[in-house]
Structure formats: structure tokens, C-alpha cells
Structure 1
């Protein structure tokens, strides 16, 4: 049983189209855009600029808004399908291309694109269907595209094991190629070898594999080197020549891993040029050799200089990042040390004194009526609650914010606590809660303090029954919206100067280079919308 051999499949790129149909499409699009300026023209502009994300968006928008009989609909379907292919959205591309009629002026553009999709998905029979339709209209194709069509038909037949048809098409390709370059020769020998080898015609196949391997060694294209070495490894393994097979496998892996440096690649390119010159002008070989050698040295020096400069720049950038990170860690450590100091002061000092006072008051013999005794017990309970609150604050201060809980949980906990105090219902929406954990720790602290101050203002002034908090992230901006149905207020410069809560919020927003929008009015509730730039943790 033959093992799988490597075949160089020339996938038809999305640019390999009949020139005539491409020109017709361009002329139609230009004609439409000379008369109007809309989403169609934006999509076409981005298509020509090869900005396929924008082209995809605007062509989709245009297709949604235009009527069914719009004259540029097929152009839009093609350029959106083209953009979808470039974004690897092959299913969407298929949908767009099938909207183009088989009698359209762009029918071969459609067929080339469909063939590309089927080849990429290894649906060879479907690819053949489109390639054969192109073959029937070869008069509309240039020589180069006729050759590619015939070649890929042959490759499809190899993959579906119809070797006689594959051989016929490879021979047909040879008849239309008058002057072959090295790549054509290597490819032709390799593909004929594959056909014969899969039919167990080793006497014909193995010499062709060897010839393609030897030619590939002299050629610069790494694909040929890799595939020809792989084929020889398979052949020798099947012939039980395991030592030779191992050598070929090692060479295959060398090319596959692409370990060669730039000066070696340049040297191989120069050798290819020398071979070409030797074939055409043998008498000038000696003079050109010296000239090329000098040129190679200059390029080598330039490449080494660029490489060294790049290494120095990289080292500088890494050093800067290291210093920045060390400063950040140092700042965090100092903050945590200060938090720990305050925590100890609260726990060992104030909390101890309060406990001593409560303990001493507990032993007092209070006499009086029931009301006085109840009041006495009430104050003891209040002191105990104050101790618990101080203990909780001390614990939180002694634990870095990031380790207390995840950020989303901290926000939810804040809302739960305040809702019980102020008797309001709350709604928390954080669609990207996972991404929220990736922002910088210092920014988390500021966002939390802003939210804490805003909720405090609601509890203190708004008398709200409904509070909604929404936090979302888009690219490099964090959006936070805090909304309540409370009493509201009149917001102006005078209120800004007097309201400490609002001043604190605005001050924090300015410190983190954010923006704040306030919508409020008497008995209209309040909406605070924050736009805050952020960076992910490095």
C-alpha cells in the first residue's frame, strides 16, 4: 500500500481572474459611484484598497438597504464574497457568490472564487465542476489563467484517484506551455511521478521523483525543496531503505522548520540568478560573478546592520518594560505595606480598646427600669457591631484588593450591601466580566471608588427604589452606566462647586483621563455615564 505523497496544489488565489471580467466589474462600479455616493461606493473603495474588514461591513450594509433590482447588486455580492474569503468566512462567501447568476458578466469571477473555496475545503469534485465550466469558456481567460485552470483540474483528479484523466490534463498543460521555467519542470515531474507511483508504476515514478528532487535542490522555492525531500523519504521507506529514508526525512524537517537565516536565503536567490544567466549568456558568467559577489557582500552588511539595530531596539524596549514593571511592583508593595500597617493599627489599637470598653461595661451593675436596661444592652450591641465592622475593614486592608475576590464579585457585594441599607432593588449587567479582570489593578481601584461614591450618593440623597449598573468593554474603552429612579437634582456649575460627592467623582474621572456625562433633573432620576480608557495587564 502506497503512503500519502506530497502534491503541490496550486490553489487559485482570489486575484487570479480573467482580466476582462475584472475590468467590466471595475467599470460598472465606477459608473455607479460617479452618479451617487453611498454604502456601495464605500464598500467598493475599501475593496480596491484591500481593506477587507471595512469592505465586508459596508457591502453587507448596502445589500440590506438596497432594493432587489439594484443594478450593482451582483457587484456587491462579489466584493462581499471576496472579502469573506479573505476573512476566511467561507460559508458566507459561498452564500454571496451563489447570488451571482451563471449568465452574469462576472460568472467566471464567481467560478474562480467557488473553485478556490472548494479546493481549500478539499471538496475536489465540487471544485472540478467549477473548473470544467471555466475550461469551456477558456476564450475569456488569459494564457496564465488557462494554464492554472488545467493544472488544478489535473491535481483534483490525482486526489480523487482518477489517474488517467490527471495524466491527460498534465500532458495538455505541457502542450500549451512553450517555454518552461525551473518551477514548471519540477512541478511537472513531481506530479507525473505521483500519478505513476499511486498506480504502482515504480519504474516510471521513482526516476521522476529523483529528478524533481535534484532540480529542487538548485531552486530557491522552499516548497519544492520540502515536498521533493518528503516524497523521496516515503519512496525509500517503502523500498525498505530506512537509512536513506531517514536522511530525506531530516532534510524535509529542515526545510519545514525554515531554520535558514536571511543571508542564506539571499545566497540561494543569487544562485538562482546565476543559473538563469548561465543558460542565457554563458560568455558573461565570469564578469557577472564578481559583480554579484560584491553586491552580496553589501547586502550582507546592510542586513547585519539592520539586524543588530533591531536587536538593540528590542533590548532597549525590554529593559524599559522591565523597569516599568519593577516600579509597578514596588508601588504595589508599598501600598500593601501601608494597608497592612493601618490594618494592624485598627486591629491591635482601636479594636482592642473598644473590646476593653465593651468588656468593662458588661460587668457594670446597671440598675433602673426596663427601658434603661434595654438602652444599656442596645449600646453594648452597637459597640459589638462597630468591632465587627472594624475587624472586617482591617481584614480587607490586610489583603490586596485583587486577592479579596474577583472584581465583578466585589461590585456585586457592594450593591447587595447598599441595597439592604437603602431598601432599593438593583440590576447589575457585566457582559464581559472575564475581560474586566484583565484591566490594570490601579484602574480597578478607581472604578470601584467611583461606583462606591455614586452608590453612596444614591443612598444618602436619591431615595431611589431601582438602581441599575452596566459595565462593558469595547476595544480600549470601558463604559460604565449608573442609573436610578430617585429624586434627581439640578446639575450646574454652582451645584458642582457645592456637591462634595460629585466633586469626588469628577476628580477621580479626571485623574484616569476619563469622561463623565450627567443626565438628571428634579424627580427625573439620575444617569451617570462614564467613558474610561484602559489597558490590559501586561
Structure 2
């Protein structure tokens, strides 16, 4: 009975929980229609009209949730046609939206439906399907519940070995969720299995473990149920006193007759039956009658059958064959009416013992039914075995696919990693080559700059030596000769005529002037103040060379306070190349007639500006040009900032470098 009720109860809770989650995210319009459609679907018989209304939701998850709700209410109300209709719709929608948990739930619902109709094999098949989906989705608790439902079905068809294995698998999964109620059911199932197998010690052990969950929870009514199970084992094993003690303890639970009349009647009947087995019949008839009255009042059919079998045994013990036959016959009729095969067989055995005249008939019917049930159970067990085999094959194939997937993923990952490493190595090598090339280029630039300086120094040194030679020649040669001439002319002063005196004086004055001029030239030749060797000299020479191309000589204004000797050669070399590139651009694009270079020292910052009066350009369009890119790159190399401004009035390039 528990196994039938629980799935429906859980589905209801599960769907309700899902609906609460949906309310937080769906449109209010959908919420309103969802609630309306929920009520309409529960009552309406017009399936097509409901489907038309469902389209308004425009949300597959909400629609699917309603399908499950409708299926649940149909199952609850015993409407098989509507249940199968909505269950199929839920299957199709769940597959469409690829919701594997909902597919599992649809199988669970279908398993419960088949269980109601006592189609054990179909129920088992769908529980197994639900298990596979839940297990694939790593839903340990739900997959454990499906295994437990399957185990109970196996127990019901007397596949005790199979049920034991499945129950243990279920326990291992349910333990992780720490769900006490399901663990109780699992241990209780193991207790029943071992009782049927005649292993009463193990049966008591597992029923005892099941009882522990109720002792922890403090639920006395559930404790009473476990005590009844334990009492049944003692009774079956012939320990009647222990059985009576367990039943008695359970019957002392406060208000049990009001809160759980079915359990109360069962305990009364079992206690009386244990005393009958012990041949202690004092007062047991009233217990049998009270239990029967309660069961008839609540229409507990299987309980009524057991009660009447016990009453038949009681009258047989009392040697009242007529009443014994009466209750045994009633038990047989009711058990056949309810298709309760266990009690049919028990009733037939009892009737064979009571009705001596028809003993052969009842024994033959008992054998026929027993054989038929065994064949049926064997067929169902075979079906279960096939389902297990297919499941094992599926799991094995799935494992194989997973292994292949792992190898594929591993191989792909390895290939990707190797490719990634190869790319990194290649890029590192390329980067190293680039850095080496840049270092080589830097060294080459520095060497070029050094050679330029050496060349200028040699030229200046040659000029200086040539000037020194000329100075010496003028001073030692020309001046000495002129001095001799002047001295000779001075001697002509001996002539006293007026004309000679005037001519001599005139020549003497000319010679003095010539002497003064030559002396001045000599001194100037020896003066080094005008020399300008180094970076500025190179710049001036660059501008002189550019003047021939540009058609005008650019001007250069340099702050005399700039400490060029403190500025490193890489900075001066890159500045030289930047200025060179700037004038290349002026020649190619600007059409300028004037250009100026300014070199300023401001707050330990060297500022170089290059300005021309040519036609400007759109910086955004030209920003990717090679010339500008090179200038920016060189500025970045020496830790500077590059700025450019261009318009109709010309172009201004500014470079700032901290020194």
C-alpha cells in the first residue's frame, strides 16, 4: 500500500516545488493563466479545448508542468483514459525540451499507473526506465527510490535474491541523501525478504534497524508498526511470548485505536493469533471480534480475510468444525473476490484440513493455483531478468561509450595541449628572434651614430689642423715678410722729398692694415668657439641635406641648457631617425615652404617639436601609416610620448622624453 501512495504524493510535491520555482521567473500573464488552466484541467473532460487554452501560455516548461498535474489528478481519480492521454503529452513535451528529469518522472507516473492495475512487469519496466534517467542525471535519491520500488516488486513476486540485491543498491544511493523514511522502507523490505527466506535472525536485524529510525524520530505510531513486524517474525519462528510482548508494547501507544485503527486492529488480531498458537485462548475471541469489527468498519478487505482465517483456526482449535468451515469459506470467497492469492492459498489449505470430505478438491485447487502462480511469477521474473539484462547491457554500452568519450576527450585535449604548446614555443621563438633583431638593430643604430660622430670629429679635426697650418703660415711666413717690407719702407724715410714721404707713409698705412687683418684672421683660425661637434652638428647637416630636396632650409632652435652629453646614444639615434622620417613625410605629402625644429629642456624633460606650414591631413585616416607608425614605435622605445596635431595651418609633431 505504501509503495502505491508514495509515488503519487512525491509527484505532487515535486510538481508543486517546480511550480514555485517557475512563479519567480515567468510573466504574470502566464501565472494567471497557469492557475486558471490548472483548475480547468482538473475538472474539464474536453481535452482538445484544454490544449487550445494551453497554447496561450507560450512556455514549454509551464505547459509540461500542467501536463504532469493533469496526469496526476487523472490517476488519483482513477480516470485511466485521461491519465494515459496527459502522460503521453508529458512524455512528448519532455523529450522535445530535452528535460531528462521530466522524462524520468513520466516513467515514474506510468509505473504507478500499471501498479494500480497489478501489471507488475510493466510497472517494473517503467520504474527501471525512470531509474536510468535519474541515474544518468546524477539524482542519487530519486534513482535510489526507483530501485527501492523495483526491489519491492521483486519481493512481491518472490524473487527474494533479486530483491535483496536491488534493495542494497537502493540503500547505498538513499544513504547519501540521508532520507530516513526511505531508508526505513528499504530496511523493512530486507526484513520481509529474510523472513520469507526463513532467515529470522537477519529479518530481526533489519527490522530492528528500521525501528531505529522511528525511535530517533520519536514517532510512536511508526514504532508500533515496526514492533508489529518484529512480532510477526517471532510468531513465525515459534517465539510466541516474545511476539506477544512486541504486540503488547505497540498496543500501549497512546490513542493508537483512534489515530491508526487499521494498525490497532492488526495488532489485536496478531496478539490473539500468537496466544492461539501458544494455546492460551483466554480472552482471545473478543480480540478477534474487535479486530474484525474495526476492519469491517474501515473496509480493510485483506485484513478481514486474515481475521476470518484466524477465527477459523480458533474454532478449529475449539473443535467447532461448522464455524471453522464458515469463516474459512468466507475468507476464501473474499480473497478470490479481491484476487488476494496468498490468502486464497491459505484459505484452501485451511478448508482442506476442516472439510475432510472435500480435502482432495481443496488440495488439488491449491496445487493448481500454486503452480499457476509459480509459473506466472517465473514469467514475470524472466521479464525482470530480461529488463535487468538489457539494463546491464545499456550500462555496459554506456560505460564503453564513456570510456571512448574519455579517450577521445583525452586524445583531443592532448592534441590541443600539444598544439597550444607548439604555438607557444613558435611564438616564443618568434618573439626571441624579434627581440634579437631589435637588439641587433639597436646596436647597428648606435654603431651608425658612433660612426657619424667619428666622421664628424675626424672632419673637424682635419679642419682644425688645416686652420692651424694656415695660421702658422700666415703668422710665420706672410707676417714676417710684411714686417720686413714695412721695415724697409721705414728706412726710406731717409729721403726727405715731400712726395717720397707721402708715398711711403701711404704704403706703411696699407701694410699696417694688412698686418692687422692677417693677425685677426690668424687669431680667428685658432679660435674653436664656433665648432659644433655632436648631435646638433648631425642635425644641422641633416637639415642641410634635406634643404636640397625640400627647396628650403629648415631652421633649428636648441635650448643651450640641454645636456647632450648626458643623453644616451639610443635616445639621440632614435630622435635623429624620427626627425629624418618627419622631413621625409614633409617632402612627400605636405608641400610646405617652411619648417622648424625646436629643442627645449623643461623640468627634466626634453621636448622636441617639428612644425611645418604645409597642408595638413586627417589624423584618423593616416594613423595607420608606416611613417607615423615608425615614429610612434621609436618614441615608445625610448620611453617617450608622441603627439601629433594637423590641420589647414600645417602639422605639429611633439615628442616628450624624460631625461
Taking structure 1 as the reference length, what is the TM-score of the superposition?
0.37
Q: Which structure is higher in RCO with an 8 Å CA cutoff and minimum separation 6?
A: 1
Which structure shows the bigger proportion of residues in helix conformation? Answer: 2
